Chains A and B, each alone.
Chain A
Amino acid sequence: MSIALTDTDRPATPPAFQHVSTKRKAKNGLATVLVWLAFAVAVVPLVWVLYTVVVKGIKRVVYTNWWTEDFSLVLSDEVGGGVLHAIMGTLLQGLVCAVIAVPLGMLVAIYLVEYGSRSKLAKTTTFMVDILSGVPSIVAALFIYALCITTLGMPRNGIAVSLALVLLMIPVVVRSSEEMLRIVPDDLREASYALGVPKWKTIAKVVLPTALSGIISGIMMALARVMGETAPLLVLVGYSSYVNLDMFKGEMGSLPLLMNTERVTNTMADGSVGADRIWGAALTLVIIIALINLAATAISRLVAPKKK
């Protein structure tokens, strides 16, 4: 017996799609809360530190002479003077460090990505760079002390600081440049080879320009990091309260060193000259590093490949 079923005769089937189950809703809620909590835990200390530095440091930083004078003519408990000597020292040491570390680090990265590929030397280099990036800054400083000052008989000076910073900066530059070079598609290299362009020119004119934006921001971040380093400064150069631009001779001020010197020599009571100087120097350092990061973003945007 076969009779065509009409719609109403069909047995009622359950709907194919159901509501999100309570269990899944609960899990989703819990996960959301945890993510927000983690976010808060990460952000709160950051905002707190920044707030403290700004509030306590702003007192001295707003005066012009903070940026244009040094401490050579003021007494240690006298209000006035500025940190020009420390700013110049920090910038100069950072610059000399970058001039040495950036070309070296980029050449290593180019070797690793473009030439070394799977060779033993490349593997060893990568391993060494990893080790170097794990070396604490005080160890780098002591190494330079042993090499330059004890063995070669150099005086403690700014260049020794820069050399120690080079040791800390190279692995960061190598790593970030390597990453950036690796994400340049092989298609572009092949397109260039197929036009009869030699390998070195392909690297210089096609690969590097394509990766340049990322490489620059990596370098600037690395620079910002080493400029806040303190251990090499403590070990390798004395503090001067006047502007000294000679990297090879004499003591040299810098912002981290200034903070430490004031802490040791001055009273630290809240609102005292010493405390104000330290917070002012801290805020100055934060501003300089923020400016470098901003410049990094601007430059890398400028050189990034454009769509339209």
Chain B
Amino acid sequence: MAKRIDARNVDIYYGKFHAVDKVTFSVPPRNVTAFIGPSGCGKSTVLRTLNRMHEVIPGARVEGDVLLDGENIYASNVDPVQVRRTIGMVFQRPNPFPTMSIRDNVVAGLKLAGTKNRKSLDEIAERALRGANLWKEVKDRLNKPGGGLSGGQQQRLCIARAIAVQPDVLLMDEPCSALDPISTLAIEDLIAELKKEYTIVIVTHNMQQAARVSDQTAFFNLHGVGQPGRLVELNDTEKIFSNPDQKSTEDYISGRFG
């Protein structure tokens, strides 16, 4: 299951714009890594290169290597569809499929990949919904549309959908930024649970959240306006928030800029 990620000298571009400059870091398995930093510094962009979602945007490209347990996902013969099946993603805004029921949303990844067995799909749906702490709330309305749930429930539905395909890694792009504190707490508890089975990378603007949920934290920053973003420091979360190696990390965390 959970696998290790190594990013080596990753340069990321949007057309001619150099968005992120030579990022190198490692994420151990069964570990939560938080990406923090000011807006526009490339945290989400880096996250999206980890499952080859970045290249979905026209003109976007990536240079460098990202290794998943030693296997380069940017090797020329690798199918990006396979990569995304192995590395799941949860987005900032909850985005359940509006035409599908709650159950169909959860098993959408498997169903669209061609699994026909109804019984095993039902079992998988239940397991994923339990995994996302949503089962009790929706078990009596599995055939109702997913759009009828509250924002927090929708986000947990999206997490259930992401873990139903049993990925090795789970990427989360500000998963709580559209949610109220109670739903946020539910998702943070969930992340602590999921950590036992998955490697998790989470982008967040909320530094308390990074401190609460993550084992290690990466601070990204810009060289300057119009310059590419870069990784300033990656350290244990405890160290980042108490005694970071870099001055700019400390400035950011203590609220002196950003």
Which residues of A are at the interface with B, using a C-beta cutoff of 8 A? 117-118, 185, 187-198, 201-202, 205-206, 209-210, 212, 305-308
Contacts of A306 in B (CB 8 A): 145, 147
Looking at B5-13, B107-115, B191-199, B209-217, the stretch in contact with chain A turns out to be: B107-115
Contacts of A118 in B (CB 8 A): 58
A187 and chain B: residue at smallest CB distance: B95
Partner of B165, one of A189, A196, A206, A212: A196
Q: Which of A191, A192, A308 has the most CB of B within 10 A?
A: A191
Q: Give the distance to chain A from B112, nearest Cβ to Cβ, in Å.
A: 4
Q: B176 within 8 Å of A by Cβ? A: no
Contact assessment for B108 and A192 in the assembled complex, using a CB-CB cutoff below 8 Å: yes
Given known A190-B91, A195-B165, A201-B112, contact A307–B145 (CB-CB < 8 A): yes
Per-residue 0/1 for B42-64: is the Cβ within 8 Å of any A Cβ (1 yes, 0 no)? Answer: 00000000010100101000000
The 4 A-B residue pairs with the shortest CB-CB distance, nearest first, are A196-B85, A195-B109, A305-B98, A194-B89
Contacts of A185 in B (CB 8 A): 95
Contacts of A201 in B (CB 8 A): 112
Contacts of A191 in B (CB 8 A): 91, 95-97, 158, 161
Contact assessment for A197 and B147 in the assembled complex, using a CB-CB cutoff below 8 Å: no
Q: Give the distance to chain A from B171, nearest Cβ to Cβ, in Å.
A: 8
B96 and chain A: residue at smallest CB distance: A191
Contact assessment for A210 and B91 in the assembled complex, using a CB-CB cutoff below 8 Å: no
Contact assessment for B56 and A188 in the assembled complex, using a CB-CB cutoff below 8 Å: no
Assembled-state Cα–Cα distance A212/B84 (Å) = 27
Contact assessment for B99 and A305 in the assembled complex, using a CB-CB cutoff below 8 Å: yes
Contacts of A117 in B (CB 8 A): 58
Assembled-state Cα–Cα distance A195/B161 (Å) = 8
Contact assessment for B112 and A194 in the assembled complex, using a CB-CB cutoff below 8 Å: no
Contacts of B82 in A (CB 8 A): 196
Q: Give the distance to chain A from B107, nearest Cβ to Cβ, in Å.
A: 10
Contact assessment for A188 and B97 in the assembled complex, using a CB-CB cutoff below 8 Å: yes
How many residues of chain B are within 8 Å of chain A by beta carbon?
Answer: 31
Contact assessment for A305 and B85 in the assembled complex, using a CB-CB cutoff below 8 Å: no
Q: B181 within 8 Å of A by Cβ? A: no
Q: B75 within 8 Å of A by Cβ? A: no
Given known A187-B91, A190-B91, A194-B51, contact A308–B161 (CB-CB < 8 A): no
Partner of A195, one of B56, B58, B85, B148: B85
Q: Give the distance to chain B from A115, nearest Cβ to Cβ, in Å.
A: 11
Assembled-state Cα–Cα distance A297/B91 (Å) = 34
Contacts of B89 in A (CB 8 A): 194
Contact assessment for B91 and A307 in the assembled complex, using a CB-CB cutoff below 8 Å: no
Per-residue 0/1 for B133-161: is the Cβ within 8 Å of any A Cβ (1 yes, 0 no)? Answer: 00000000000110110000000001001
Contact assessment for A197 and B112 in the assembled complex, using a CB-CB cutoff below 8 Å: yes
Given contacts A118-B58, A193-B84, A194-B88, 14 further A-B contacts (CB under 8 A): A117-B58, A187-B93, A188-B95, A191-B158, A191-B161, A194-B84, A195-B85, A195-B108, A195-B109, A196-B109, A209-B99, A306-B145, A307-B147, A308-B145
Q: Give the distance to chain A from B87, nearest Cβ to Cβ, in Å.
A: 9
Q: Give the distance to chain B from A176, nearest Cβ to Cβ, in Å.
A: 19
Assembled-state Cα–Cα distance A192/B161 (Å) = 10
Contacts of A210 in B (CB 8 A): 97-99
Contacts of B161 in A (CB 8 A): 191, 195
Q: Which of B84, B86, B112, B144 has the most CB of A within 10 A?
A: B112
Per-residue 0/1 for B99-119: is the Cβ within 8 Å of any A Cβ (1 yes, 0 no)? Answer: 100000000110011000000
Q: Give the distance to chain B from A150, nearest Cβ to Cβ, in Å.
A: 45
Q: B162 within 8 Å of A by Cβ? A: yes
A184 and chain B: residue at smallest CB distance: B98
Contact assessment for A196 and B113 in the assembled complex, using a CB-CB cutoff below 8 Å: yes
Q: Give the distance to chain A from B27, nearest Cβ to Cβ, in Å.
A: 18
Assembled-state Cα–Cα distance A190/B94 (Å) = 12
A194 and chain B: residue at smallest CB distance: B89
Q: B81 within 8 Å of A by Cβ? A: yes
List 5 interface pairs A-B (beta carbons < 8 Å), by A numbering.
A194-B53, A195-B113, A197-B113, A210-B97, A210-B98
Assembled-state Cα–Cα distance A190/B96 (Å) = 11
Contacts of B98 in A (CB 8 A): 188, 210, 305
Assembled-state Cα–Cα distance A307/B98 (Å) = 8
